[in-house]
């Protein structure tokens, strides 16, 4: 193992001895100084995870969360000096972390929180005028291959659990005592302006948006959603997407709208 790799490994594992050859300018014990440095590095990474996943921490308590985060830090240290997205794989880690099995919705709540982080740091986009949407939809011959482009900040969460309500309750928006965490919920995450919004979606709207995000044309998405949900209402769903500024472009084979 090279000197750099040895140093890196020892930083994350308190069971390993300090790298050989360390010296301190004043002659003090290098092992003690390295231990302090190691603790500061690990604590900073755990703090970064706690900042990204505050609701997840509240759900299991600070002690449990930090113990879980410590294991994650040791397994998946940062690969970049930019910590904004550190812990993107933390929800997947939680899902396969046996001690967290008693809180089965924890991983999905964490995933929702990461979607909020991504939305916060996403690029801005010009607001797409509603009149352009009306114009595009008026071309009935082109609806089958019409493609909707979404705001760069958009994220979709489809969960077996009440992730949106759990998140809202921990913001003081909803009463936690009224939330049944085992009711499936879907949520749209978007930052149209300065603030990140979490918007609850019914299942037909969520499925429709999911088809569009996967690259389906409007016609194909409508066909699939209508088949799965007899009460599918395209007009109300498009109204929601317009109100939330989720649409950033519309393209057809005939004309491209900015």
Query: Distance between CA atoms of 207 and 229, rounded to whole angstroms?
Result: 9
Predicted confidence at residue 141, as pLDDT, reads: 66
Considering the domain architecture, whether residues 245 and 140 belong to the same structural domain is answered as: yes
**Packed helices 3-12 and 30-52: angle between N→C axes, nearest 10 degrees:** 60
Considering the domain architecture, whether residues 78 and 131 belong to the same structural domain is answered as: no
CATH number at residue 232: 3.90.930
Query: Distance between CA atoms of 123 and 104, rounded to whole angstroms?
Result: 33
Considering the domain architecture, whether residues 146 and 247 belong to the same structural domain is answered as: yes
Give a yes or no: residue 114 inside a domain: no
Considering the domain architecture, whether residues 244 and 142 belong to the same structural domain is answered as: yes
| Count of the separate structural domains present in the chain | 2
pTM across the whole model: 0.87
Low-confidence ranges of the chain (pLDDT < 70): 1-3, 5-6, 8, 10, 13-15, 20-32, 37, 139-143, 253-258
Query: Distance between CA atoms of 30 and 21, rounded to whole angstroms?
Result: 9
**Helices within 53-182 (DSSP H only):** 54-60, 62-75, 90-95, 106-121, 130-138, 163-169
User: Rounded to the nearest 5 degrees, what angle is found at the Cα of 86, between the Cα atoms of 8 and 16?
Assistant: 25
> Where in the sequence is the domain holding 176, given as residue range(s)?
124-258
Considering the domain architecture, whether residues 133 and 250 belong to the same structural domain is answered as: yes
Predicted confidence at residue 135, as pLDDT, reads: 79
Considering the domain architecture, whether residues 87 and 145 belong to the same structural domain is answered as: no
Query: Residues, the chain, total?
Result: 258
Considering the domain architecture, whether residues 94 and 199 belong to the same structural domain is answered as: no
């Amino acid at each position: 193992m090279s000197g750099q790799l040895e140093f890196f490994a020892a930083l994350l594992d308190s069971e390993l001895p300090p790298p050989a050859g360390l010296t301190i300018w004043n002659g003090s014990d290098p092992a003690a100084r390295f231990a302090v440095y190691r603790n500061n590095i690990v604590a900073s990474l755990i703090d970064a995870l706690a900042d990204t996943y505050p609701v997840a921490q509240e759900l299991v308590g600070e002690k449990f969360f930090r113990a879980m985060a410590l294991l994650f830090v040791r397994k998946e240290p940062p690969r970049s000096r930019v910590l904004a997205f550190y812990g993107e794989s933390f929800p997947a880690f939680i899902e396969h972390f046996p001690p967290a099995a008693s809180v089965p919705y924890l991983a999905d709540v964490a995933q929702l929180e990461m979607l909020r982080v991504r939305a916060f740091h996403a690029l801005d986009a010009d607001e797409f005028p509603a009149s352009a949407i009306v114009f595009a939809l008026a071309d009935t011959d082109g609806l089958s291959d019409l493609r909707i482009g979404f705001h760069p900040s958009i994220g979709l969460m489809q969960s077996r659990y009440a992730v949106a309500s759990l998140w809202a309750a921990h913001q003081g928006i909803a009463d936690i005592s009224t939330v049944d965490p085992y009711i499936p919920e879907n949520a749209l995450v978007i930052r149209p302006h300065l603030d990140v919004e979490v918007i609850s979606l019914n299942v037909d709207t969520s499925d429709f948006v999911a088809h569009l995000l996967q690259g389906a044309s409007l016609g194909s998405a409508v066909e699939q959603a209508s088949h799965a949900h007899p009460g599918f209402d395209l007009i109300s769903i498009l109204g929601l997407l317009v109100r939330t500024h989720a649409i950033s472009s519309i393209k057809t084979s005939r004309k491209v709208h900015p």
